[in-house]
Structure formats: C-alpha cells, structure tokens
Structure 1
Amino acid sequence: MGKIRVSRVGEQLKKEISNIIQNELKDPRIGFLTVTDVEVSGDLQIAKVYVSVLGSQDQKAESLNALRKATGFIRSEVGRRIRLRLTPELIFELDTSLEYSSKIQQVLRDINSERKE
C-alpha cells in the first residue's frame, strides 16, 4: 500500500482517537492526556497510539492501564467512524519524547548559564 494512504489513515486515526478519549470515555482514571502520534503498519492491521500524560509516574501508569482496558470500546468507535475493511488493532504506548526534550532543554540552559558566568 502507498505510504501516503498509510499516513492519511494514521492522521485520521489520531484525530478520531483523540476525539473519542476526550468526549466519549468517562473513566476517572484517565488523566490529562494527549495523543501525540499514531504509527500504522503497512497493511493497516496494527496501529500504535502514542500518548503523553501529565502527572506523576503513578498517574501515567494508571491512565495507560485505563486506556488499555478501554481499547475494545475505542476500537469499535473507530470502526464506526472510519470506513476501513478491517479496523486496526490498537496498541497504546506512553510517549516520553516531550519529557526527554524538556530535559535536554534544561541541560542546554544550564550549560549556557555556566558559560555566561
């Protein structure tokens, strides 16, 4: 399949999953989270959904577990909203790239302040 179609399906999945999590899920264990990226396999069978969660490590783990419990519901809603032959299997992963980038920025600021002194 063309890479363009795979990327379009990924973007549409990202949009719909974000909408479902914000408006449809009523689980109090899910904290403030953002869907940062969706990677879809070439055959559109598997979609890895990367989410970023604000809070402590316990809150992140709890939110991720709640999302994994709601995977069936989210997948069925995606299947109703997006017309595909097969609805991809959703795998939720924690995205730590935002934390990593803020850590790198802090290190760079520290180095820059040391140079000025």
Structure 2
Amino acid sequence: MADPARAAKLADRIKSVVARALETRIKDERLGFVTITDARVTNDLQHATVYYTVFGDEEAKANSVAALEANRGRLRKAIGDNIRMRLTPTLTLVADEVPENAQQVEDLLRAARERDAEVAKLAEGAQYAGGENPYAADEDDEEDASK
C-alpha cells in the first residue's frame, strides 16, 4: 500500500495528463469545453477518479459526457504513457457537481440578503415598546432603594 502523499502526487500528475490529452490527443467533435477540476487516486494506486465540468447547455454536456466515455481508453493510455508505474490505474470520469452546489448556495445567500433587507426596512420606523432601556431603574426607585 502506497502512502497518501504518493497518491496525491500521482493524482496531480493524472489531472494534468488528462487535461493535456483532451487538448491534444482527443479529436472528438462532440467534446465541448471540458475542464478537469480534480483527480483522486486510491492509496493502492489502482483506481483513479477524474472530476470534470462542462461549460454549455444540457445538450453540450450530454455530448461531452458521451465523448469522454467513448475516449476513456485513450485517456488511460495517455496516463500510462506519461507515468512510470508497473500498472496503469483504472480510470473513472465523474461530473463535478461543485458549480451546481455553489449556485444553490449563492441562491440561498441572495434570498437571505433579500429577507434581511425586508427586516431592516420594517425596523426603520420602529420604536421601543417600553422605552429605550426598559430594565433601567427609574430615578425615584433608586432613591427609595437607598433609604
């Protein structure tokens, strides 16, 4: 079993090899604007998972996914040609969902800001129900307490 540091270095190398192979080796018309975002390798160095995002509409995404799956063997061959290991790791391609999740978080934050603005607008003309400091003792009460 390899150490995690070696697996992380190999994952970085695989990420760059796959990105370069998509630019130079893979000539598929269906392949759109694909960005390799991350790669992870198991500690035994036998399996690699490559995460990617696709820029475009749903049709472009579907075409790019089909092109990536069709060329997975070529990508694995490129990895084998560029790393010096006894065994080339198996390759799994996974769509990265971070951009979609980030968009959901942005939508939630925007909704919270809108609600905060509504509350601030309601609070502009508000007055205290029992005075500015309702728990402060009156001056008369203080004099009675001191006697």
Same fold (TM over 0.5): yes
- Write the distance in 2 (CA, Å) between the matches of 1:33 and 1:115: 38
Partner of 2:62: 61
User: In 1, distance between residues paired with 2:23 and 2:107?
Assistant: 31
The aligned counterpart of 2:52 is 51
State the match for 2:81 in structure 1: 80
Runs of 5+ consecutive residues of structure 2 not aligned to the other structure: 119-147
> How many residues get paired?
117
SS in 2 for 1:73: helix
Residues 9-58 of structure 1: CA distance to partner in whole angstroms, max 9, x if unpaired? 00110011111112221111111011111111111111111111112223
What is the Cα deviation at residue 68 of structure 1?
A: 0.9
Instruction: Tell me what 2:108 maps to.
Output: 107
2:40 match: 39
Structure 1 regions of 5+ residues with no counterpart?
none
Which residue in the other structure is 2:94 paired with? 93
Larger Rg: 2
1:15 aligns with 2:11: no
1:4 maps to 2:5: yes
| Distance in 2, Cα, partners of 1:57 & 1:96 | 14
Q: Percent identity at matched positions?
A: 33
* TM-score, length basis structure 1: 0.93
Q: Which has the higher contact order (CA 8 A, sep 6+)?
A: 1
CA distance in 2, matches of 1:84, 1:65: 29
Q: TM-score w.r.t. structure 2 length?
A: 0.75
Aligned CA-pair RMSD: 1.2
User: 1: CA distance between counterparts of 2:60 and 2:101?
Assistant: 18
